[in-house]
């Protein structure tokens, strides 16, 4: 990844300590300054790496530049980040991570009268305790801001017997707070997104040493780049695990902040030269922000296909037609649940497009009005533009007639409801089949994929990681079912539901009950469980 030359290197030090209330972390409040992004914010000690920090390499204990650079994943001069973290913590908070001649920690109170950090190290023959710093995380400020920082976060246990003394310039107040306490007080404390997320990671640890040892052993630390987006609440910063993050990073790499972090209903959003998304205004507990319809195609002929025309909503169909840059020639349906296929008939009547999809099973939850002109088979390819090819992948599980469509040129998989964003897919027997669902997910891991375009929600990157996480979630839920059966057999389904889905809101239990039944049927077919007189038993 290319990083702008205007990016300034910086370092932050997370200082933790134990107290009777639990592990605490040091936080500083910045002064109020006009035009300063961090004005009045509560932050951790830190600041920019200065050029003269390199002059202190010989004053470092236990870690040389080669080792420090290897730890940070840089070619050279990684040690300057460690030094900057120690220097900034001393300058802002008066805490000094340095050894004296005898190997004991230096006492800042005995080093009075010297304000230049480099001179202080030389005058008192100090050795900077870079060996006490554990690399914690790596953050970049969002693209598009006038000032950007490439910041390495380190973590260290507070030196015993040292007290905080603020410089009253970069910090005007300090707090020792439990991470969870700081998060609860977020309305009182101004927290930047990276600070908030860091506090969330620290809140998992009970003691300072436990936190330090975890950071010391951590590997493969990924660079985190927040992104800016627009929405009903105005502009805000999104973190990498938020739903719209990958989509905004793809559509707005330069940080214009003109891409919405919310799904906007019946608004055409160009996702690529070949793909446009329009989302129906049918959002609810089951459909999330609404059902996505995708226009796929283009090229010189300017012909387009629609994937999932959506529910029977005339206004939505009109928006699909209006959004199409050219002629709509094909309609492809992923499955015949009532939020995906019913609009096919109206869209066909308006455009004359040929409808593709598998017929609906004669069961509830299905759109029995769906009448395809052509029933595609697994592996079939359809040229829907001069340079746009859709390949059919049969993915039973959520529905027996479920199809995904792979746009081969962009390695983008239109997943329908097979993989959803932000929630688990409901498997409703008898048409829904848990064993078939897991097998279909495993088959997708063999496909070369770069993006998932779900039936509900935003584009998702890292498709294989998403699919593997989905499989792992299902298998962990199955383990909970097995453990509950072992503990409670024979047991009725309501008691099982409360035990197995104890981490799911009670309002969602009627929906979860369908997937529980799918898990139980899978165990029965696998010879691991048995149902007798309405009670379930482990075998």
pLDDT in tens, 22-74: 999 999 999 988 767 778 899 999 999 999 999 999 999 999 999 999 999 99
| CATH topology identical between 8-225 and 266-461 | no
Q: Which of 252, 266, 339, 431 is catalytic?
A: 339
Using the predicted structure, report yes or no on whether residue 457 has a pLDDT greater than 50. Answer: yes
How far is the CA of 278 from the CAs of 203, 291, 292, 309, 388, in angstroms? 40, 9, 6, 9, 19
Q: How far apart are CA 406 and CA 393, in angstroms?
A: 7
pLDDT-based confidence at 255, cuts 50/70/90? Answer: very high
Q: Domain 471-538 classified CATH 1.10.3720.10?
A: no
Domain 8-225's class?
A: alpha beta
pLDDT tens-digit map of 238-253:
999 999 999 999 999 9
What percentage of the chain carries pLDDT values higher than 90? 88
CATH superfamily of this structure's domain 266-461: Ribonuclease Z/Hydroxyacylglutathione hydrolase-like (3.60.15.10)
How far is the CA of 46 from the CAs of 88, 152, 219, 455, in angstroms? 5, 10, 22, 43
pLDDT-based confidence at 187, cuts 50/70/90? Answer: low
Strand bridging mode 460-461 / 529-532? unpaired
CB-based contact 88:149 (threshold 8 Å): no
Q: How far apart are CA 513 and CA 274, in angstroms?
A: 39
How far is the CA of 101 from the CAs of 129, 350, 490, 505, in angstroms? 12, 85, 70, 59
pLDDT tens-digit map of 341-351:
999 999 999 99
Catalytic residue status for 18: no
pLDDT-based confidence at 186, cuts 50/70/90? Answer: low
Q: Which of 183-197, 352-366, 453-467 has the highest mean pLDDT?
A: 453-467
| Tokens describing residue 368 | 């029995």
Element (H, E) at 140: strand 134-140
Using the predicted structure, report yes or no on whether residue 3 has a pLDDT greater than 60. Answer: no
CB crowding 229-263: b at 16 or more within 10 Å, else e? bbeeeeeebbbeebbbbbbbbebbeebebebbbeb
pLDDT-based confidence at 188, cuts 50/70/90? Answer: confident
Average pLDDT on 83-96 reads 95
Say which DSSP state 203 is in.
Answer: T
What residue segments make up the domains of the chain, in order of their start? 8-225, 230-262, 266-461, 471-538
């Amino acid at each position: 990844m290319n990083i702008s030359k205007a990016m300034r290197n910086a370092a932050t030090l997370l200082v933790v300590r134990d107290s009777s209330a639990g592990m605490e972390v040091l936080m500083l409040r910045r002064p109020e300054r006009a035009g300063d992004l961090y004005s009045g914010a509560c932050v951790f000690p830190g600041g920019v790496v200065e050029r003269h920090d390199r002059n202190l390499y010989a004053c470092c204990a236990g870690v040389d530049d080669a080792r420090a650079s290897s730890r940070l994943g840089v070619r050279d001069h990684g040690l300057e980040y460690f030094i900057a973290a120690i220097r900034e913590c001393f300058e802002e908070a008066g805490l000094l991570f340095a050894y004296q001649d005898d190997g004991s920690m230096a006492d800042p109170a005995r080093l009075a009268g010297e304000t230049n950090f480099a001179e202080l190290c030389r005058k008192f023959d100090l050795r900077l305790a870079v060996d006490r710093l554990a690399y914690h995380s790596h953050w970049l400020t969002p693209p598009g801001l006038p000032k950007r920082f490439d910041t390495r976060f380190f973590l260290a246990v507070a030196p015993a017997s040292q007290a905080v003394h603020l410089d009253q310039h970069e910090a005007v107040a300090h707090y020792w707070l439990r991470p969870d306490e700081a998060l609860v007080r977020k309305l009182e404390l101004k927290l930047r997104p990276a600070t908030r997320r860091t506090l969330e990671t620290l809140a998992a640890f009970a003691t300072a040493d436990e936190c330090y040892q975890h950071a010391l052993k951590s590997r493969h630390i990924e660079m985190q780049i927040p992104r800016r987006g627009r929405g009903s609440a105005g502009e805000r910063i999104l973190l990498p695990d938020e739903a719209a993050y990958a989509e905004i990073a793809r559509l707005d790499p330069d940080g214009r902040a003109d891409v919405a972090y919310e799904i906007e209903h019946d608004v055409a959003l160009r996702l690529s030269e070949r793909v446009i998304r329009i989302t129906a205004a049918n959002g609810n507990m089951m459909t999330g922000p609404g059902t996505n319809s995708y226009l796929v195609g283009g090229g010189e002929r300017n012909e387009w296909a629609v994937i999932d025309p959506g529910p029977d909503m005339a206004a939505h169909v009109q928006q699909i037609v209006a959004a199409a840059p050219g002629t709509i020639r094909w309609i492809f349906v992923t499955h015949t649940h009532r939020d995906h296929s019913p609009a096919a008939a109206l869209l066909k009547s308006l455009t004359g497009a040929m409808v593709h999809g598998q017929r609906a099973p004669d069961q509830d939850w299905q759109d029995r009005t769906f009448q395809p002109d052509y029933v595609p088979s697994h592996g079939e390819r359809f040229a829907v533009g001069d340079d746009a090819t859709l390949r059919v992948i049969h993915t039973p599980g959520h529905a027996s007639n479920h199809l995904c469509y792979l746009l081969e040129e962009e390695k983008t998989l239109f997943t329908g409801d097979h993989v959803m964003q932000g929630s688990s897919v409901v498997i409703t027997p008898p048409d829904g089949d848990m064993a078939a669902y897991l097998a279909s997910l495993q088959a997708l891991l063999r496909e070369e994929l770069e993006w998932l375009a779900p039936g509900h929600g935003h584009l998702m990157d890292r498709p294989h990681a998403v699919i593997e996480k989905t499989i792992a979630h299902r298998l962990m839920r199955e383990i909970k079912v097995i453990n509950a059966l072992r503990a409670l057999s024979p047991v009725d389904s309501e008691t099982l539901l409360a035990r197995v889905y104890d981490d799911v809101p009670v309002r969602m239990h009627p929906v979860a009950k369908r997937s529980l039944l799918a898990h139980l049927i899978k165990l029965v077919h696998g010879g691991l469980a048995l149902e007798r007189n309405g009670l379930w038993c482990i075998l």
